[in-house]
Amino acid sequence: MAEKVLMKGNEAIAEAALHAGCRHYFGYPITPQTEIAAYMAKRMPKIGGTFLQAESEIAAINMVYGVASAGYRVMTSSSSPGISLKGEGLSYLAGADLPALVVNVQRGGPGLGGIQPSQSDYFQATRGGGHGDYHMIVLAPASVQEMAELTIKGFELADTYRMTSMILADGTMGQMMEPVALDLEVKPAPAKPWATNGTKLQREHNIVNSLSLVPDELEQLNFARYERYRTVEENVVMYEEYMMEDADICIAAFGIAARVSKNAINEARRQGIKVGMIRPITLWPFPKEVFRRAADHVKTFISVELSMGQMIEDVRLATECRAPVLLCNRVGGMIPSPEQVLETIQNVVKNGGAN
């Protein structure tokens, strides 16, 4: 087995980014993701990289735009309110088809909210986050090991599809410490013939831009982009199924909610209740097909979320409302307990929802 180190989720993201060849980080401190910036500040100067604490989140995302244009792997990280500030930049990255990695270690909202964990930026992440028609690849880790692995995956997917990858974590994932194996494989970055890295008098100059004033040309750009998104939907979907073979009840949960739910499922199984879980790892593209198939035998779905019910809409769409989808949630920085999830499962059985 590979040698392990004990890391915080935030540190694992930072270290994995360095493994992936990211040498440019631009950020601004905000709890509960500050350790990413702190780690980068310590490590980047030692390996010839750039750490820069920008004057604001908006400045940081635009610096990301600049480095991405030049063809280098680049990232920024923040937490909920800071991601809102980056919204304009995210849209510009999409409009210019630039690959980048953005990390959101979510905290309770809306507004300035709190500093404790949350998953209430699901809509913002999976629907784009800024203005215009676009998507980001949204990855939802459920362990410190996955924080590292999905960071590398995020860079690779961003390069392959010329999109922004977002790591959608939460305060717990960022702060918790677990052993991590860091001998992770990294695919080298593909050639980027579109990058604005100097013509060397060998080619015409490249232009990276999100401005397009001719309507039918802008329409074509949107069509082409969505053609690419369809490829992503076909090739990139990731999820974990847990005890789903014979499940009458299916829990849908990602990130920290999935870890809590697993405990509840294990206890419910001991009590003879046939319950399983589908854990989306990509939130966009959402694993529609596995939910659609599950609806063939599942009588009731339960969406466990640290929000007022956001992913629940995607579960309903994916299952085409063939079975009821209930919500089990806590918000504002609170986390559902395994007992709360278990009680929700038991109530479904009591009310005949497992038959």
Partner 1 sequence: MIENKRVLLLSGHYGSGKTNIAVNLAMDLKKKYPNIAIADLDIVNPYFRTKDSEAELKTAGIRLICSDYANSNVDIPALPQDLYAITDDRSLRAVIDVGGDDRGALALGRIAPALREENNYEMLMVINCYRPLTRDAESTLEVMREIECACGIPFTGVINNSNLGIETTAEDVLASVPYAKAVADLSGLPLVMTSVTAILAEQLKGQIPDLFPMNLYVESAIR
Q: How far is CA 17 from CA 34, 170, 175, in A?
A: 15, 18, 17
Q: Are 136 and 109 in contact (CB under 8 A)?
A: no
9 binds partner 1 (CB under 8 A): no
b/e for 209-225, b at 16 or more Cβ within 10 A? eeeeeeeeeeeeeeeeb
Q: Which of 76, 126, 172, 310 binds partner 1 (CB under 8 A)?
A: 172
Q: Is 260 one of the binding residues for partner 1 (CB under 8 A)? A: yes
Q: Which stretch binds partner 1 (CB under 8 A): 96-104, 200-208, 255-263, 279-287?
A: 255-263
Query: Residues 274-313: x/- map of binding to partner 1 (CB under 8 A)?
Result: ----------------------------------------
- Min dist CB 7 to partner 1, Å, is 6
Token pair 């953005």 in the structure block, residue = 102
Residue 11 binding partner 1, by CB under 8 A = yes
Nearer to partner 1, 32 or 129 (CB): 32
| Helix, coil or strand: residue 284 | strand
> Rounded to the nearest 5 degrees, what angle is found at the Cα of 32, between the Cα atoms of 28 and 34?
35
**Type of residue numbered 49:** G
57 binds partner 1 (CB under 8 A): no
Select 70 or 182, whichever has its Cβ closest to partner 1. 182
Q: Which residues contact 293 (CB under 8 A, 6 or more apart)?
A: none
Residue found by looking up tokens 């800024």 in the block: 130
Q: Residue 263, interface with partner 1 (CB under 8 A)?
A: yes
- Of the candidates 41, 135, 23, 117, the one whose C-alpha atom is nearest the C-alpha of residue 79 is 117
Q: Which of 275, 318 has the CB closer to partner 1?
A: 275
Q: Which one of 19, 85, 178, 184 is in contact with partner 1 (CB under 8 A)? A: 178
Residue of the chain from 21, 66, 114, 309 that contacts partner 1 (CB under 8 A): 114
Q: Cα–Cα distance between 85 and 87 in angstroms, integer?
A: 5
Q: Which is nearer to partner 1, 203 or 270 (CB)?
A: 270
Figure out which of the listed residues 45, 179, 190, 198 binds partner 1, where binding follows CB under 8 A.
179
Q: How far is the CB of 11 from partner 1 (least distance, A)?
A: 6
What tokens appear for 318 in the block? 């994916």
Q: In whole angstroms, how close is the CB of 35 to partner 1 at the nearest point? A: 8
The reply to whether 54 sits near partner 1 by the rule CB under 8 A is: no
Respond yes or no on whether the N-terminal peptide bond of residue 285 is cis (omega within 30° of 0).
yes
Judged by CB under 8 A, does residue 49 bind partner 1? no
Report the residue from 25, 28, 39, 254 that binds partner 1 according to the rule CB under 8 A: 39
Percentages helix, strand, coil for the chain (3-state, rounded to 5) are 40, 20, 40
Segment near partner 1 (CB under 8 A), from 112-120, 185-193, 208-216, 279-287? 112-120
Element (H, E) at 165: strand 164-170
With tokens 């929700």, the residue in question is 344
The amino acid present at 262, given as its one-letter code, is K
List the x/- string, 19-38, binding to partner 1 by CB under 8 A: ------------xx--x--x
Neighbours of 55 (CB within 10 A): 9
Q: Binding residues for partner 1, per CB under 8 A?
A: 4-8, 11, 15, 31-32, 35, 38-39, 42-43, 108, 114-116, 171-172, 175-179, 182, 256, 259-260, 262-263, 333
